[in-house]
Structure 1
Amino acid sequence: MAAATSPAAPEQTPKTPTSGPVPFNFSQPPIIEGFNPLPRAKDESFKEKLIRKTKENPFVPVGCLGTAGALMYGLRAFHQGKTRQSQLLMRGRILAQGFTVVALVVGVLATALKPKQ
């Protein structure tokens, strides 16, 4: 039997497009049509952000400290067996938590109603 030989066809490799947009560039943020992100003025540390937020709404940290203080003293009184004082301090803790929540809501509403600059 004679084998039929045919000229060898060159291997075809898929060609990569040399022109056109790259699907995604990992060194750049994605481009979303109709969305223009606001540039950040600067990145701030935790301490700077805490100070800025405390200046914006000083009642929230006061409420948090009041809540933590009432809780600590209430637990200490409970441990010492002073049940009446412990109950009063736990009620005070609830009031301090309520104060903190109201301060948060007022701060959010004030920020939402503040005119944009």
Structure 2
Amino acid sequence: MSSDEEWSSGEDDSQPSKLVRKAREAPFVPIGLAGCLTLVAYGLYKIKDRGNQKLSVHLIHMRVAAQGFVVGAITIGVLYSMYTDYVNPTSSKPKK
């Protein structure tokens, strides 16, 4: 076990604290999730203004848009992580 990792009691690892910690480690995942939920809410709001389009086709389009947003956000996060790890490693390490 490395010196960076410390054991913490179960009281310190509540669900909200785990969520906040994971969101700080990988901020593009919550961004993708928020975008997905926003697109789903927008699609449900626009359901009455779909015109002649069938409901199933409208829902499929909204699902594809929401999934595309999530995949795009995670892809950008992976590319940023690769950039900070391999292309410009000095920018991610704090100066002493």
Tell me the TM-score range normalised by the shorter chain. Answer: 0.5 to 0.7
Structure 1 residues 54 and 103: alpha-carbon distance in aligned structure 2, compared to 1, 3 A threshold:
farther
Aligned-partner Cα distance in 1 for 2:42–2:16: 28
Please report the RMSD computed on the Cα atoms of aligned residues, expressed in angstroms. Answer: 3.2
Q: 1:26: which partner in 2?
A: none
Q: 1:94: which partner in 2?
A: 67
Answer with 59-68 or 42-51: which moved more. Answer: 42-51
Q: Which has the higher contact order (CA 8 A, sep 6+)?
A: 2
Unaligned runs of 5+ in 1: 1-37
Q: TM-score, normalised by structure 2?
A: 0.52
Aligned-partner Cα distance in 1 for 2:69–2:35: 6
Question: What's the CA shift for 1:93?
Answer: 1.4
What are the Cα deviations for residues 34-76 of structure 1, in whole angstroms up to 9, with x where unaligned? xxxx973232101111111111111100100100110111122
Which amino acid in the other structure matches residue 82 of structure 1? R
Which amino acid in the other structure matches residue 95 of structure 1? G
Larger radius of gyration, structure 1 or 2? 1
Structure having the higher helix fraction is 2
Question: What's the CA shift for 1:96?
Answer: 1.1
What are the Cα deviations for residues 63-108 of structure 1, in whole angstroms up to 9, with x where unaligned? 0010011011112212x13258x58x7253132121244367x3xx
Moved >4 Å (runs of 4+): none
User: Aligned runs of 1:1-117 on 2, under 5 Å?
Assistant: 40-43=7-10, 44-78=13-47, 80-83=48-51, 90=62, 91-102=64-75, 106=78
Which amino acid in the other structure matches residue 94 of structure 1? Q
Aligned-partner Cα distance in 2 for 1:94–1:67: 7
Residues matched between the structures, number? 69
Q: TM-score, normalised by structure 1?
A: 0.44
Which amino acid in the other structure matches residue 93 of structure 1? A
